Structure 1
Amino acid sequence: MTSPEKKRKKKTTTNPSLKPSLLLPPTPQSTPNPDLPDDLLLSCFARVSRLYYPTLSLVSKSFRYLLASPELYQTRSQLDRTESCLYVCLSLPPDPNPRWFTLCRRPNQTLLTKKKKKKKKKQSSNLLVPITCPHSTPVRASFVAIGSDIYEIGGLVNGVPSSTVSVFDCRSHSWHQAPNMLVATEKPQAMAIDGKIYVRGAEHLHTPSICVIDSVLYLHHQGEFKWFDNKERDGRILQGLLYGLAGLPKFFSCSTTCSQIQLADYGGKMAVLWDRHDRSSDCKGRKVWCAVITLERRSSKEIWGRVEWSDDSEAVLEVPGSVAFVGVVAATL
């Protein structure tokens, strides 16, 4: 007689004539995803807002390479998908060399921040992020942006007025020299109008902040925003700007805390940056704040401004010591 073990073995003996696929489920095999052509990836990336690029760069090394390539920005330009990117040059003593920052905005954030009771510290949605661009910026130089290039004009080099013009390529974060000006200027005021740069010497070292948007000059002076054009040479008040909820922070109107205010053309909107004491550090440090204002011309004598984005609870940059604005411009990328 056969033992029970032998009987069980016989019962489980497989028929060699049966195919293995009929007895056991097929073993799943991983099929490698085919690599997408770079041209296709560039076309996809160019259609996505730059706000998502930091997240996309985490996917793979090839993604990081393409997102940092000049070809991406050429594709964005060809597809008319360019965006304005704010660049800020700051002096941060005791460092003698000014440092460059860019405004990094998180996607899908509420544009207007409303006052709410905070149970925990809120993480800022917008930050000034430092960028690497080794370069010695002249003292009192002026800056303008045309396309993706930022022009650094004049200033003082070793205490002597300079006629040099340097260009910062925002796509590659590299500098190169441009032809010099005909006249050296110690404290130039430069403007870009219709793709041309106009430079004049400043009459005073301390001048009000100005910017040109759609051929209209905007100015902030003594707590007021004004605008000028060829028809309104005396200047008119920019209407509609409120302080407090759904407007500029209340402390913006306090001249005792805001020592500097800078304006810039931010893709047809007006970017406003200012600094004030950091009360959390016993006023030893400073905080830099930012707001974006949309502009609407309602008549030949009336322009209204509306605060599109501002955050009265979180600054875009905190520094332990003093800070001074050297230049604020917006490039197109």
Structure 2
Amino acid sequence: MSLPQPLGTPELYHLRSTLGVTEPILYASIGFPPSESPSWFTLHQENVSLRLRKILSLPSRLLMAVVTVGSDMYVLGGSVSGKPTSDVNLIDCRFHTSRSLPSMKRTRSRAVAGAIDGNIYVIGGCTKNSDDWAEAFDVKTQTWRGMPGVLPRAHWEGLFVTSAVMDDKIFVLEPYTTCLVFDPKVGALVQWDDGGELKKLWQASSCVVDDMLYTIDLGRSLKHPIIVYDPKAKEKRWRPVYGVNLSRDLRPLVAYYDSKMANLGGKLLILVGSIAMPFSHCESEQVWCVKIALERRGDEIFGHVESTEVVLKSNKCPSIELSRTVTL
């Protein structure tokens, strides 16, 4: 896997797409608190190893929401100097350029967002207001519209843990009661009927592959470190991903303090921040990358760890804000 270098013209990228030679590329927002705010990194091949390469001058903020559409990333809100912002930026990952888009109606920090049918929906991250607590951005017309009536009944301010787009809906993990689901066809954010089961083991280090939600379960409630949830299954419950062993395959997670998961072309890719500890395998602050291939056998999912390697070293503790995949 290599990062395509900017080759000069959009026509060339269109030709690559027409010929079917595009590939998924991972982008990660990583900071080094308290002195360094987050920056974007890409995962690329360096000789025979994978490495994270820092990209300068692209907007990355604390507590931002990020949505990917093709080769573009939309950066929505976040925190600037400790204050929420309504800024929206479009990053063209083909050329690593950025431009400002029309601002949201509200300032938002720690909102959730997802792209469905040509619209980007952003929810919460601000105090409740029935007119624009949720907003929708039309990618084609580049305009925002408020979504009245989207408010849930729960009494909290919409500072979410994470979210996932499955079955053309946005599922939301919030910290206090249960899980919520937003259906654009209905235009309302409501409690998910099976949210108690979903919330039980869902955490921020998660991603969606083939419309199913994968997350890390280091407590091994189901006796396996990776688990999966299918919202369309008749019996809605977490299931183990077989074949992945914590001590053998996921060694960095033993001394980890931060991790983020992404869908890289149908495979699970986990970035793990590990700290230097006496008598551990970590000699410095590191970011590891674990790549896991998935295979479905009937109703069961099996994982095969293809690689586990250090992709970034630092003398400071890296904070992995989020990771996203684009197609180039």
SS at match of 2:215: strand
Q: In the TM superposition, what whole-angstrom CA distance separates every residue of 1:220-259 from its partner, at most 9, and x where no partner exists? A: 24353221222253221222212455xx24342x2xx100
Runs of 4+ residues over 6 Å off in structure 1: none
Q: Cα distance 1:158–1:152, how it changes in 2: closer, same or farther (>3 A)?
A: same
CA apart distance, 1:157: 3.3
CA apart distance, 1:264: 0.5
CA apart distance, 1:140: 0.6
RMSD: 3.0
Q: TM-score, normalised by structure 1?
A: 0.65
**Which residue number corresponds to residue 146 of structure 1?**
69
In 1, the alpha carbon distance for the partners of 2:81 and 2:276 equals 33
Q: How many residues align?
A: 246
Q: Cα distance 1:158–1:249, how it changes in 2: closer, same or farther (>3 A)?
A: closer
In 2, the alpha carbon distance for the partners of 1:272 and 1:73 equals 28
- Of 182, 199, 208, which residue of structure 2 is paired with 1:212? 208
1:126 aligns with 2:50: yes
**Percent identity between the two aligned chains:** 35
In 2, the alpha carbon distance for the partners of 1:153 and 1:128 equals 23
CA apart distance, 1:127: 0.8
Structure 1 runs not aligned, ≥5 long: 1-48, 55-65, 110-124
- Of 4, 19, 24, which residue of structure 2 is paired with 1:84? 24
In 2, the alpha carbon distance for the partners of 1:222 and 1:208 equals 13
Quick one: which amino acid aligns to residue 93 of structure 1?
Answer: P
Q: In the TM superposition, what whole-angstrom CA distance separates every residue of 1:11-36 from its partner, at most 9, and x where no partner exists? A: xxxxxxxxxxxxxxxxxxxxxxxxxx
In 1, the alpha carbon distance for the partners of 2:76 and 2:242 equals 33
Structure 2 runs not aligned, ≥5 long: 125-159, 161-173, 177-201, 220-224
CA apart distance, 1:289: 0.2
Q: Cα distance 1:68–1:93, how it changes in 2: closer, same or farther (>3 A)?
A: farther
Q: TM-score, normalised by structure 2?
A: 0.65
CA apart distance, 1:100: 1.4
Relative contact order (C-alpha < 8 Å, sep 6+): which is higher?
A: 1
CA apart distance, 1:293: 1.1
Q: Cα distance 1:265–1:180, how it changes in 2: closer, same or farther (>3 A)?
A: farther
SS at match of 2:13: helix
**2:32–2:316 CA contact under 8 A, matched in 1:** yes
1:97 aligns with 2:37: yes
- Of 231, 235, 240, which residue of structure 1 is paired with 2:238? 235
SS at match of 2:37: coil
1:186 aligns with 2:189: no
In 2, the alpha carbon distance for the partners of 1:251 and 1:91 equals 19
**Which residue number corresponds to residue 190 of structure 2?**
none
**Which residue number corresponds to residue 316 of structure 1?**
311
CA apart distance, 1:106: 4.3
Greater strand percent: which structure?
Answer: 2
Greater helix percent: which structure?
Answer: 1
**2:252–2:288 CA contact under 8 A, matched in 1:** no
**1:260–1:325 CA contact under 8 A, matched in 2:** yes
**2:89–2:98 CA contact under 8 A, matched in 1:** yes
Q: Cα distance 1:160–1:309, how it changes in 2: closer, same or farther (>3 A)?
A: same
CA apart distance, 1:151: 1.7
